[in-house]
Amino acid sequence: MIKSNGKTCVITGVTSGIGEQTAIILASKGFNVIGIGRYKKRCEKTLKKINRVSDSSQILICDLSDQTQIKLITEKIKKEAISIDILINNAGGIFLKRILDKQNIEMTWSVNYLSHFLLTGLLVKNNSLSNNSKIINVSSIAHEKATINFEDISFTKGYNGMKAYGQSKLAMLMWSYSLANKLQNKKISVSSVHPGIIGTRLLSNNGFISPLLNLGLNIVGRNAKWGAENIINTLNSTDNNHCYYHEKKIVESSQFSNNIKYQDQLWKLSEKNLNFTFNN
Ligand SMILES: NC(=O)c1ccc[n+]([C@@H]2O[C@H](COP(=O)([O-])OP(=O)(O)OC[C@H]3O[C@@H](n4cnc5c(N)ncnc54)[C@H](OP(=O)(O)O)[C@@H]3O)[C@@H](O)[C@H]2O)c1
Q: pLDDT digit string (tens) for 156-188?
A: 999 999 999 999 999 999 999 999 999 999 999
Contact 161/95 with Cβ under 8 angstroms?
Answer: yes
Sign of the four-CA dihedral 198, 228, 122, 144: negative
**Atom of ligand 1 lying closest to residue 18 CA:** 16
DSSP-derived letter for residue 198 is B
**In the chain, where are the structural domains located?**
8-272
H/E element, 89 = strand 84-89
Provide the CA 171 distance to its chain's centre, in angstroms: 11
Does the Cβ of 24 fall within 6 Å of ligand 1? no
For ligand 1, atom 47: residue with the closest CA: 92
* Nearest in space to 36 (alpha carbons), one of 51, 23, 54, 52: 23
CB atoms within 10 A of CB 102: 12
Please, which residues have CB within 8 angstroms of residue 117's CB and are 6 or more apart in sequence?
175, 270, 274, 278
User: Cα–Cα distance between 115 and 118 in angstroms, integer?
Assistant: 5
Pocket test for ligand 1, best of 10, 11, 12, 16 (most atoms within 8 A of CB): 16
Catalytically active residues, by annotation: 165
The predicted model scores a pTM of 0.97
Q: For residue range 123-137, list pLDDT tens digits in order.
A: 999 999 988 899 999
Give pLDDT tens digits for 227-273: 999 999 999 987 768 899 999 999 999 999 999 999 999 999 999 99
Query: Taking the domain 8-272, which CATH number applies?
Result: 3.40.50.720
Give the C-alpha separation, 16 to 251, whole Å: 27
